[in-house]
Amino acid sequence: MTRREWLSAASAVAVRAANPKPPNFVLITCDDMGYADIEPYRPEVGYTPHLARMAKEGMRFTSWYAAPVCSPSRAALMTGCYPKRVGLSFGSWHAVLMPGDWHGLNPSEITVARLLQTKGYATACVGKWHLGDQPEFLPTRHGFDSFYGLPYSNDMRPAPKAGGAMDYPHPPLPLLRNNDVLREVTDQDSLIADYTQEAITFIEKNQAKPFFLYLPHSMVHAPLAAGKAWRGKTGKSLYEDSVAEIDDSVGQILATLQRLKLDTNTLVIFLSDNGGTPRANNQPLRGNKGSTWEGGMRVPALAWWPGHVPKARTSDAIVSNMDILPTFAKLAGATLPANRKIDGQELSALLTGGTKIGSPYAAFYFYHANQLKAVRRGPWKLHSSGELYDLAANISEAKDVATQHPQVVRELQAKLAEARADMGDGSHAGPNVRPAGKAKGPLRFWISRHPESGFPPQAPVKAVPGAPVL
């Protein structure tokens, strides 16, 4: 550690000593945002000033990894584990959990929210959940005191293809408050604003005690939407307008923390849930959402905590969604469960000015559903196909250097073998994975109102007396 880094870390320790109250946590995620969609990664963007400010006043990560798609990514965030380890590398019949899926995040999993509750934190999830829509899988069963938002993606609603054929026989898209359906969502223009106001209200109500706010925005996932005041704001497409409104939402959250004098005691993390779709800007990465190329899993990520996280710092350390749980637990003084493996790293020292990571990855694995596709160690990334890339020299994965570095290939092949022995690969199930949750009773909520849809395909739909009327 350099003298400057040492002084910064010492300053952060002094601040904590003077303010013993445990920190608050705000975790903001954006859906399908590309690596270079915001100014900290592409300065010419020009319409994300609040995210640019987060980077100037905090830390920018350039090697933060999510999962290729939504449900696995969120499973990693909540559990600190590879999605494959907790049985949610894909849904029961699709790449992600679908409406009425009888799979979900196992109620026996210990989420970051549940850990923080043990330390007296108020917890709220505002936005898109997508870890199961049956009662036993909802946020209120996984450590959140309250939930306001959509149980899954905003495109999972009745929407005929051109010509009238249905892509999937989705039921109406429900907005939930805790476990109850408030209404059907047909117009998504107000989603960003509604989530933002709900988040601000939660912060205001819980300002006197430690809190954890998880704000997973539904945007910029299709179908795209933005508030009427934001349409045409950027002079570009609706996609850019939606990004700009997300940025404004972040600005409102930061302003609320400052107004309530909570900013120096609140760690704010912003990131995307997976790589961007082709409509996003993933420069200079190869690939998009759904792949294990860098463009499918490397995401924009920022950390802001005035007085703790040094200003204008960039880290290229290999970090991931799995690191949220052990890091928040450490900072809150919570104890990690001893009866299960947690894959994530603890980042508090890195965040507060150091260069080292607690329990760093010996290797980071890239899974696509159940398939082990690649491994990264340091700058080297080996695909299971045998291609080797030096990401420090060739971030775009354009130049295969396997033949020039046979020893590196052999070492990383050994790491792939370790993952296969631990978590499995393809049809081979590893011994150290935990099962996904499975719904115990008949499917309910909005599904029971639409038995004519034949949804879901593999299970009979049973009407539930007293189910909410949409």
What lies within 8 Å, CB to CB, of 414 at 6+ separation is none
CA atoms in the 13 A half-sphere facing the CB of 414: 7
Pairing of strands 24-30, 266-272: parallel
| Catalytically annotated residue among 70, 81, 142, 221 | 70
Handedness of CA 374, 422, 143, 349 (dihedral sign): negative
130 a catalytic residue: yes
Q: Across the strands, what pairs with 304?
A: 268
Q: Report residue 342 as tokens.
A: 């947690």
- Cβ-based burial of 130 (10 A; exposed 0-12, middle 13-18, buried ≥19): buried
Sheet holding 380-383, edge to edge: 364-368, 371-377, 380-383, 388-390
Residue 405 phi, psi dihedral angles, 5° rounding: -135, 65
What lies within 8 Å, CB to CB, of 442 at 6+ separation is 448, 462, 464
Please give the helix or strand (H or E) that residue 20 lies within, else none: none
Question: Taking a C-beta distance cutoff of 8 angstroms, is the pair 468, 446 a contact?
Answer: yes
Determine the longest span between alpha carbons in the chain, in angstroms: 68
To the nearest 10 degrees (0 to 180), the angle between helices 238-259 and 191-205 is 10
Question: Taking a C-beta distance cutoff of 8 angstroms, is the pair 322, 370 a contact?
Answer: no
Neighbour count for residue 407 (Cβ, 10 Å):
7
| Alpha-carbon gap, residue 211 to 421, rounded angstroms | 39
| Alpha-carbon gap, residue 398 to 285, rounded angstroms | 10
| Catalytically annotated residue among 30, 81, 103, 130 | 130
| Alpha-carbon gap, residue 260 to 70, rounded angstroms | 33
Nearest to 171 by CA among 462, 454, 434: 454
Please report the DSSP string for 193-205 in residue order: HHHHHHHHHHHHH
Neighbour count for residue 442 (Cβ, 10 Å):
16
* Catalytically active residues, by annotation: 70, 130
